[in-house]
Amino acid sequence: MDFLLPADQMAMLLWGLRTTVLLFTVAWVGAFALAVILVTVRATEYRPCRWIVDAFVAYHRNVPLLVQVMFWYFGMPEILPEGIRFWLYDHNAEFSLAAIALALGSSAYQAEDIRSGLRAIPATQFEAARALGCNYLQTMRFIVVPQALRISLPPLVGRALLLFKNTSVAMAIGVAELTYRTREIENMTFKTFTVFGIATVLYLLGTFALMGLGAWLERRTTPGRKERRHA
Amino acid sequence: MLEIISNYWLTFLIGQYPNGPLGGLAMTMIVAVLSILMSFPIAIGIAMARLSAWGWLRMASAALSSFVRGIPLLMLIFWCYFVIPIMTGYAVSGFWTLVAALTIYEAAYLSEVIRAGMAAVPKGQTEAARSLGGGYFLTLRSVVLPQALFNVLPGITSQFISTIKETSLGYVIAVNELTFAANQVNNQLLTQPLQVFTILAAIYFLLCFLLSRGLSALEFSIRRKRGLI
Amino acid sequence: MTAPVIVRFDQVNKWYGQNHVLQDVSLEVAKGEVVVVCGPSGSGKSTLIRTINALEPIQKGSVTLNGTAVHGKGTDLNKLRQSVGFVFQQFNLFPHMSVLDNVTFAPIRIQKRPRAEAEALARELLARVGLAEKEGSFPGFLSGGQQQRVAIARALALRPPVILFDEPTSALDPEMVGEVLQVMKSLARDGMTMICVTHEMGFAREVGDRVIFMDQGRIVVDTTPELFFDAPDHPRVRRFLSDVRGEH
């Protein structure tokens, strides 16, 4: 790759990619876990729980991600206890706060995707399972959730793609991820097309890899895939 | 917080105008509306290409659309920021850079929405129009598109809301919009970031939330008028 | 004196992939004739009439409409289709237009007639199908039978010399079949040339001039309603008739 960029700059760029992937992974895991919690809480009959979840989702859907990131980076430390604040500033606060903002933002959307998957399962499926003697948890575990996840999978993959791309927003608060490094190296070298070209290809590889993973998961979870192979 | 609002509400709404450049919420809305309006015809064109009878056109448009949707909007903004001046030889303002990037980005996403809508119009509708002697473009314009666009109105609305939110990225290339204005206020005050960014988030929230509610109410009323509910 | 031929099939063949859906079909329909096409499902009857306005292409033979080769190179299909009405099983009204706009769509947008003239004609046609008071409604508010009557008015608005019906009552609830057949019968009595794919045997007997029976892509029987119903000599026809009459 030396003919494109000197090795040290290339290394900087790849280090940026590493941060991007790390940020994405941390944020996605957090977002998915939180989304499951949100859906569970939302499913309770207790009204204030629903309102809180709905408000949480509405906030994150209607406020730009950049503003959410800024809010966490500039605003939140103010109200954090001093100990935590200093600990954060000592430990790459940009990365942690960006990851929190990204995770919260994505969880709101993922919760909606999971919820609409659950709602797409006809009540008769639930009744059929109960009629066979399954209890609530067994019904969810064996009948409802597997079907719902399959319905939710395509939108969830789409969300993951968006999250991967949205990690670039973290550059605005100084997280040294791929876009940040790209700009930095462009500033140093003025090799605009080369640097942006490489970064673009790296992003495309990332999204295509995620798409491939999504397609693979979708194939794996399609019922009757083995029968069809013989047809 | 109330004090910040009463001192700086004009900055949030219109930036430095009339003593300086227009900015704030007004600029955000100008950029968003302009971008979505410009992306609309392009999106319809891409959607038509993706449903075309010619294989090469389908492939080319699909590749273009997945390229744009495969990279972060920020990357696209930087591409426009650096490449448009080199290609055209003109210094382009941040405003037009942002509008250009958002137009391209939204055209790609909107084309997916519109394509789905067009593909979902029953085949019988096209057959009915064709059997009355309507040509391709008349059928498209009078029968397919009106139904397709109407049916995907929720998708179009959410793209519009997305566009409004995405204008905030103009901050990165110093476009004078709402997020930029809030950061200016924050830099003047220095000590109250939580309040300033709460106000900023609240403005976006109210704008996007009310807009999406309003548009879906409008859609509902049209649906009822046409007997579709 | 024999009436001039309006539709002519000459050795028409059509395949869907391996499936030979029309096999050596030859047929002539004269002006003013009411031809009923019937046969078991999958026999090719819908495909047959859909080739007349080129909604379906053919691979061999020719279809001629008013002397024009329908599938010929250089045929202006849009012009040709204006001279043949088509009524679909699923009505296919435009849901985003009012009833009046549905009927005036082709005259105004395709034939570029003045709006006033097109609306006057549309109102006349809507009155004829018994829906004068519905002109401002959207299709979503109409029953299936009403929608199909509007669809007939829409097809008539181009004043076509021939009109094709593709199972016009099959998608209707039983109680609405009569109102649509009533309109079709009145058209037949007025001398309209009609080719109707339908299982309504009463309609065939009452106003049909000829009955065509298709099976596996071929025209098996082409005869008068009297002979078709009262003296069916083909075993396939006998079975079909006992099926549609519900005898087992």
pLDDT in tens, C14-34: 999 889 999 999 999 999 999
pLDDT bucket at A191, cuts 50 / 70 / 90: confident
- Domain residue limits, chain A: 7-230
pLDDT at C246 over 80: no
Residue A2's pLDDT is 56
Task: Give the C-alpha separation, C196 to C52, whole Å.
Answer: 12
- Cα within 13 Å of Cα(C50), Cβ side: 19
Chain A residues 183-202 within an 8 A CB cutoff of chain B: 183, 186, 192-193, 196, 199-200
Residue A231's pLDDT is 40
Output A223 or A132, whichever has higher pLDDT.
Answer: A132
pTM: 0.87
**Domains delineated in chain B:** 20-177 (1.10.3720.10)
Whether B122 and C92 lie within 8 Å, measured CB to CB: yes
pLDDT bucket at A127, cuts 50 / 70 / 90: confident
The three-state (H, E, C) secondary structure of B108-119, written as one string: HHHHHHHHHHHH
Task: Give the C-alpha separation, B93 to B21, whole Å.
Answer: 13
Whether C92 and B226 lie within 8 Å, measured CB to CB: no
pLDDT at A225 over 70: no
Residue A144's pLDDT is 87
Residue A226's pLDDT is 59
Q: Which of A81, A86, A76, A98 is nearest to A30 (CA)?
A: A98
Whether B146 and C78 lie within 8 Å, measured CB to CB: no
Residue B123 contacts residue C89 (beta carbons within 8 Å): no
For residue B127, give the nearest of C78, C79, C92 by CB distance: C92
Shortest alpha-carbon distance between residue B95 and chain A (Å): 18
Residue type present at position B202: A
Q: What residues contact C84, with CB distance under 8 A and at least 6 apart?
A: B131, C52, C53, C65, C160, C161, C162, C163, C164
Shortest alpha-carbon distance between residue A29 and chain B (Å): 20
Whether B200 and A67 lie within 8 Å, measured CB to CB: yes
Extract the tokens encoding B221.
């009323």
pLDDT at A122 over 70: yes
pLDDT bucket at A23, cuts 50 / 70 / 90: very high
- Cis-peptide into B18, omega within 30 deg: yes
Count of beta carbons in the 10 Å neighbourhood of residue B33: 14
Shortest alpha-carbon distance between residue B162 and chain C (Å): 28
Residue B101 contacts residue B74 (beta carbons within 8 Å): no
Kindly write down the DSSP assignment for every residue of B143-168, as one continuous string: IIHHHHHHHTHHHHHHHHHHHHHHGG
pLDDT at A230 over 50: no
Q: How many helices (H) and strands (E) does chain B have?
A: 11, 0
**Which residues from B are below 8 Å from A183, CB to CB?**
78
Q: Which of C91, C96, C137 is the best substitution to test chain B (most B C-beta atoms within 10 A)?
A: C96
**Which residues from A are below 8 Å from B161, CB to CB?**
62
- pLDDT tens for B31-42 read 999 999 999 999
Residue B50 contacts residue A154 (beta carbons within 8 Å): no
Q: Does C5 touch chain B (CB under 8 A)?
A: no
Q: Which of A58, A57, A100 is nearest to A77 (CA)?
A: A100
Residue C184 contacts residue C194 (beta carbons within 8 Å): yes
State how far the alpha carbon of C242 is from the alpha carbons of C221, C229, C236, C237, C248, in Å: 16, 11, 10, 8, 7
- pLDDT tens for C193-240 read 999 999 899 999 999 999 999 999 999 999 999 999 988 888 889 999
Tell me, what's the ipTM?
0.92
Chain B residues 47-76 within an 8 A CB cutoff of chain A: 67, 69-75
For residue B134, give the nearest of C78, C80, C137 by CB distance: C78
Q: Which H or E run contains A94?
A: helix A93-119
Range C81-98 average pLDDT: 95
Mean pLDDT of chain C: 93
**Which residues from C are below 8 Å from B125, CB to CB?**
92, 94
Shortest alpha-carbon distance between residue C229 and chain B (Å): 33
Which chain C residue has its CA at the smallest distance from B129's CA?
A: C106
Contact call for C and B: 3+ CB–CB distances under 8 Å = yes
Q: B93 has which bridge partners?
A: none
The CATH classification number of A7-230 equals 1.10.3720.10
Q: Does C140 touch chain B (CB under 8 A)?
A: yes
**Which residues from A are below 8 Å from B209, CB to CB?**
58, 62
User: At C59, is the secondary structure helix, strand, or coil?
Assistant: coil
Chain B residues 157-176 within an 8 A CB cutoff of chain A: 161, 165-169, 171-172
A224: left (phi > 0), else alpha (psi -120 to 50), else beta?
Answer: left
| CA geometry: angle B194, B200, B206, nearest 5 deg | 130
Strand order in the sheet with C162-166: C84-87, C162-166, C193-197, C34-38, C210-215, C218-223
Range B116-143 average pLDDT: 96
Contact call for B and A: 3+ CB–CB distances under 8 Å = yes
Range B68-87 average pLDDT: 92
Extract the tokens encoding B163.
């566009």
**Which residues from B are below 8 Å from A63, CB to CB?**
165, 201, 204-205, 208
- pLDDT tens for A131-189 read 888 888 888 888 888 888 889 999 999 999 999 999 999 999 999 999 999 999 999 98
Whether C106 and B133 lie within 8 Å, measured CB to CB: yes
CA B94 to chain centre: 17
